[in-house]
């Protein structure tokens, strides 16, 4: 099921002269653009198709040409389905096709007027429409305010989890103050303060939860509704200052003894490099530098990149893990998949990158997943709950009574470095802290070393 079946359809006279000339050409162009072999079944995904169409648009191809591309791919999917003995998954390209049909008609209708202005108007309309398609499907039955909020969050590349949390808080706020009828025109600072106060007093939520609700409402009013709210910063809850939980070296070793395979390597990177949980999850093959014994942490907290240490103990296990990822990736490519998720902006600039081995995750998920925004299929990174569950069991088996989370290893990394005499500025750089005061908190939990304090009781 390759380009050959399209060429066979041409020879059989199944296409008109115009389509017979261009359908095989556009199928081959799309396959090359997505780095797929023309000798195997070509996987068509709405997200990658939209990006391909955008490159054609930016290159000056009119709407009717882009429509022909979509028709060619739809026809190919029909041929692939008919020639396959097993069930073939077809991408639904209806929305893309109907959009281009509308824009093609608009082009023809404008030809009688100012051609130059007509092209500019059509181009801008298409750009907005294609950007809207990249946003993905949004339930039209939702209140208009909520739909606008989702669109803006997706354009700004907010994480799906953040989108769910923010829209959830806005729904609760709407229920508390009269619903959606007037799009919040009658509510403002007073109602927000009342809502957040009720969360703290009646709901007894933590300060971090209250601040999440605050951020959701701030995004709604300031970014979606374009309303400035006076004195709103005063509503923020003050998070209590708590000292981080730190494990002793013996406790770290005890936990490691109860972890195996991928989970053990995951924990060793957390502790050995001072990484955050999500930083290990998002680690890609190209971020591992074995020669320099370092890890490159990209787009960390505060959208900052940094370099941290790659522990010698993890080198061989990490090489084995990467080799396993290579085998999995090669298998994905053979079945027509093999792409990893990349931010839309980068994926548009480098359409071949998602299928390259260097961009695969070091800790990939067991199963392929569908992007909720554009319907494309990728192999994402491991789900965050996988390591948490393994760690919870290991802590219980090691009989450690402290409250241990993945972040505890990062706290322990910093504290143990300072205990060993490492310069606090060096530790700050390894952790990626923008402010030294954030790193200084670890000086309060030191038990020994140059910054430690000996109790007067021990001197009696």
Cα atoms found within 13 Å of the Cα of residue 377, Cβ hemisphere only: 14
Q: Which residues of 61-75 are buried (b: 16+ CB within 10 A; e: fewer)?
A: ebbebbbbbbbbbbb
Pairing of strands 377-378, 288-289: unpaired
Catalytic residues: 276, 301, 407, 410, 433, 442
CA distance 282 to 340: 11
What the block records as the tokens of 56 is 């054609």
Which stretch of DSSP H or E encloses residue 370? strand 369-370
Give the residue among 277, 314, 276, 278 at the shortest CA–CA distance from 294: 314
- Dihedral sign computed on CA atoms, order 298, 301, 304, 308: negative
How far from the centroid of its chain's Cα atoms is residue 170's Cα?
A: 22
Strands laid side by side in the 294-297 sheet: 288-289, 294-297, 306-309
Give the residue among 96, 90, 72, 87 at the shortest CA–CA distance from 5: 72
């Amino acid at each position: 099921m390759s380009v050959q079946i399209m060429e066979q359809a041409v020879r059989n006279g199944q296409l008109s002269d115009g389509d017979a000339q261009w359908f095989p050409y556009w199928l081959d162009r799309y396959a090359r653009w997505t780095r797929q072999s023309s000798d195997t079944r070509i996987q068509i995904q709405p997200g990658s198709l939209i990006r391909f169409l955008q490159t054609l648009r930016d290159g000056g191809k009119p709407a009717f040409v882009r429509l022909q591309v979509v028709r060619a791919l739809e026809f190919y999917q029909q041929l692939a389905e008919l020639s396959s003995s097993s069930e073939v998954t077809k991408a639904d390209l209806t929305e893309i096709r109907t959009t281009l049909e509308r824009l093609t008609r608009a082009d023809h209708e404008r030809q009688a007027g100012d051609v130059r202005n007509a092209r500019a108007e059509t181009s801008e309309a298409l750009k907005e429409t294609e950007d809207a398609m990249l946003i993905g499907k949004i339930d039209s039955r939702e209140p208009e305010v909520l739909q606008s909020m989702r669109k803006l969050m997706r354009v700004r590349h907010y994480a799906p989890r953040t989108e769910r949390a923010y829209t959830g808080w806005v729904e609760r706020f709407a229920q508390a103050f009269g619903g959606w009828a007037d799009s919040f025109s009658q509510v403002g600072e007073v109602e927000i303060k009342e809502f957040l106060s009720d969360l703290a007093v009646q709901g007894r939520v933590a300060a971090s939860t209250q601040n999440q609700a605050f951020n959701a409402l701030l995004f709604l009013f300031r970014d979606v509704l374009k309303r400035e709210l006076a004195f709103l910063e005063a509503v923020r809850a003050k998070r209590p200052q708590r000292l981080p939980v730190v494990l002793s070296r013996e406790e770290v070793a005890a936990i490691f003894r109860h972890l195996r395979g991928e989970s053990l390597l995951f924990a060793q990177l957390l502790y050995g490099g001072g990484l955050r949980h999500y930083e290990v999850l998002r680690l890609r093959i190209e971020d591992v530098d074995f020669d320099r014994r370092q890890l490159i942490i990209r787009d960390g907290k505060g959208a900052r990149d940094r370099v941290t240490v790659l522990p010698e103990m993890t080198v061989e296990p990490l090489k084995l893990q990467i080799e396993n990822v290579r085998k999995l990736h090669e298998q994905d490519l053979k079945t027509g998949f093999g792409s990893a998720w990349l931010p839309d902006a980068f994926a548009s600039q480098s359409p071949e990158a998602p299928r390259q081995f260097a961009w695969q995750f070091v800790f990939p998920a067991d199963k392929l997943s569908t992007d909720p925004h554009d319907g494309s299929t990728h192999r994402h990174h491991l789900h965050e709950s996988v390591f948490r569950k393994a760690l919870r069991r290991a802590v219980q088996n090691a009989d450690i009574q402290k409250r241990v989370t993945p972040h505890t290893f990062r706290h322990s990394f910093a504290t143990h470095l300072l205990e060993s005499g490492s310069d606090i500025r060096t530790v700050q750089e390894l952790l990626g802290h923008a402010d030294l005061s954030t790193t200084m908190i670890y000086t309060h939990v030191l038990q020994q070393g140059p910054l430690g304090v000996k109790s007067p009781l021990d001197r009696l």
